[in-house]
Every structure is written in C-alpha cells, then in structure tokens.
Amino acid sequence: MKKELIIIAGLLVVAVPCMAGERGEKTKEFRAEQKSKRKEFRDQKKSENQDFRKSLKGMTKEQKQEALKAHQEEQFGERKEFNEKMHGENKEFVAEKIENNSKMTDDEKAELMKFYESQHAENADFREGQHQENAEFFSKIANDPNLTMDERKAAIKAHREQQKAENHSQHETQKSERKDLLEKIKSE
C-alpha cells in the first residue's frame, strides 16, 4: 500500500508538469499558427499593392486618386474582415483556456472575457479612427497644389511616425490594463 502511494505520488510529480507543458505547447503552436496567418496575409496584401501600383501607370492624376481611394477602402475592408476572423479564432482559444482554468471563479472568468471583448472593441475603434485620419490626411495632401513632392513625402513620413507612436501608446496602455486586471484577479 505504501509502495503504491509512493508510485502514485511519483507519477503525479512527473505527470502534472508534463500536462502543464502540453498546455504551454498548445499555446505556442496556436500563437505560431496565428503569426503565420498574419504574415501570409501581409505578404498577400503587399503583393496586391505592388500589382495595384503597376496598374496606375498611364492614368491621369484624378483617375489615380480615385483608384487609390477605392483601393485603400477595399484593403481596409479586407484587413477588417481578416482581423475579425483572427479575433474569432483567438477568442475561441482564450475562452477554452479560461473555461479550463479551475483556479478562477465563474465571475472572474466572465470578467476576463468581458475585458477581452472590450479591448477588441477598443482596438477596432482605434483602427477605424486611424483609417479615417489617413483618408483625410491623404486627401488633404493630394489636393494641396502648394506642396512639392519632397514636402509631401516629408509630411507623409511625419504622419506615419505620429501614427506609429499612437499605435505604440495604444498597445502599451492595453498591455498595462491587462496586467492590472490579471493582478487584481490573482489577488482576490
């Protein structure tokens, strides 16, 4: 009997970390798959954009502007659809992980999922706002006859740098909010 208990205890000592490792591996695999899908999507869009730029040759300035505007709207719609698809997959994965967490109460699980959804909504609104800013900015730049090509390029570069800083700030804010929420849940 004592020998059996020692064997069972030994198996638990070995099995529990292995099971935790499997969960960790499952997460790593899922994240790697998500990363691969995002890279494939970006590469596809990059290729489409190169083909689009080639198709602009021979058009008048007005035709190019209209085509560019239509292309940007189409690209934004496709990115939005892709982001929603990725969010759905991610949400499913996170919900499963949270549901399988035996250390959390049902209220904590619900709070975490609600928070997850609210951050997704914030991100979607943020991307929509940046898209609108871009549309207005590029329209203003394209219709300003006083700007030289170098001035336009400098303005575009400055605009991109500003958005890059805004993206970083948004990301860091959400990261901090997630950390605070998880610490709150752990302390309860």
Give the pLDDT of residue 77. 94
CA atoms within 13 A on the CB side of 185: 20
Residue 39 corresponds to which tokens in the numbers above?
A: 């890279």
Domain that holds residue 168: 101-188
> Would residue 184 count as lying in a domain?
yes
Count of domains in the chain?
A: 1
> Would residue 83 count as lying in a domain?
no
> Would residue 90 count as lying in a domain?
no
> Would residue 116 count as lying in a domain?
yes
> Would residue 53 count as lying in a domain?
no
CA dist list (Å): 71 to 22, 124, 163, 178: 44, 20, 20, 35
Say if residues 141 and 156 touch (Cβ distance below 8 Å).
Answer: yes
pLDDT in tens, 111-144: 889 999 999 999 999 999 999 999 899 889 888 8
pLDDT in tens, 29-81: 999 999 999 999 999 999 999 999 999 999 998 898 899 889 999 999 999 99
Does residue 5 or residue 49 have the better pLDDT? 49
> Would residue 179 count as lying in a domain?
yes
> Would residue 140 count as lying in a domain?
yes
pLDDT in tens, 129-184: 999 999 899 889 888 889 999 999 999 999 999 999 999 999 999 999 989 888 88
The C-alpha atoms of residue 81 and residue 91 are separated, in whole angstroms, by 15
> Would residue 15 count as lying in a domain?
no
Residue 117 corresponds to which tokens in the numbers above?
A: 């959804």
Enumerate residues 6+ apart whose C-beta is below 8 A from 54.
none
